[in-house]
Amino acid sequence: MTERRRIRPEDGVIVYLISFLLMQLMSLALSATEGDLKTYLSYLIPQVCYIGVSAVYLIATRTEFRFLPRRENLKAWHYGLAVTAALGIFFFALLPNYGLQILFEKIGKTATVTVPALDEAKDYVLCLITLCILPSIGEELVFRKIFCDGFSAYGGRIAVAMSGVLFGLSHLNLAQTVHQVFLGCLLAYLYMKTSNITLTVLIHFINNFLALFLTSITGAEMWNNITTLAISCVIGLALLVSSVAFFFKKEAPLSGSGGEKPSVFVTGFAAFMIILYVIIALVV
């Protein structure tokens, strides 16, 4: 029996590039759709590609891979801190995101994210699936599990930075970049600390859920108030710092270097993502 190989830094890059190519091919079908259907498909297609390509590639290359955490990595208190961190990062980011939105408007850049209208019960269900559940699985599978496991050959800190930056750039959306890089680095840090991807899946889900449904629950007007945003920012920062500090104190520190240096392929991929981001998010 052929021995299964360990995941390599290049594996995540290959999975992403194949997924990206499939996304572009499948997105051609979107030209024949319009309205909310087009929006739903634009969110669904990337996650289907991430999950499908990851499964086929890892099986075809006989790569040793385990998505769910081992029993020794399951700690109940981790989940409580994960919820605290999720609430912290979301409410902390509201004020900076509001400020960035105003800045983008002043320089004439569009800084919005298109989401389906929440008019009927089916809209809530479809949004929950396509914008909350599937992204928290598909994106964590690729950007945290596969990328972090592969990039750990460069050292834990480098893996966190590379995973977070690539996660932010991959959205190719000016409005999301700062928040997504920050969120991506935090999720990568927690995964590298705990080896438990279900924690980052949970945080990712909560973040998307609040971003999508919070104004439906509370009304949008209160979140346009600078005082409310300032208070939420302070509370969010306290929750975030306390939860991350606890992980930092209780779990082993991240390594600075893993011994390997990024290959030309990985370095070229990073350059490609930066150029693609500049062209689509900043120029187009």
Tens digit of each residue's pLDDT (9 = 90 or more) over 55-105: 999 999 999 999 989 888 889 999 999 999 999 999 999 999 888 888 877
The percent of residues above 90 in pLDDT, for the chain, comes to: 62
**Residue whose pair of structure tokens reads 């990985």 in the numeric block:** 266
pLDDT tens-digit map of 235-274: 999 999 999 998 888 777 786 677 788 999 999 999 999 9
Structure tokens at 152: 């750990």
Tell me which DSSP letter residue 7 carries.
P
CB atoms within 10 A of CB 175: 18
Residues 25-45 as b or e (16 or more Cβ within 10 Å = b) = eeeeeeeeeeebebbbbbbbb
Distance CA 284, CA 278 (A): 9
CA angle, 62 as apex, 60 and 64 as ends, to 5°?
Answer: 135
Q: Which pLDDT belongs to residue 256?
A: 67
pLDDT digits (tens, 9 = 90+) for 3-49: 788 999 999 999 999 999 999 998 887 777 778 888 898 899 999 99
Q: What is the mean pLDDT of residues 193-202?
A: 95
pTM of the model: 0.93
> What's the average model confidence in pLDDT over 209-213?
94
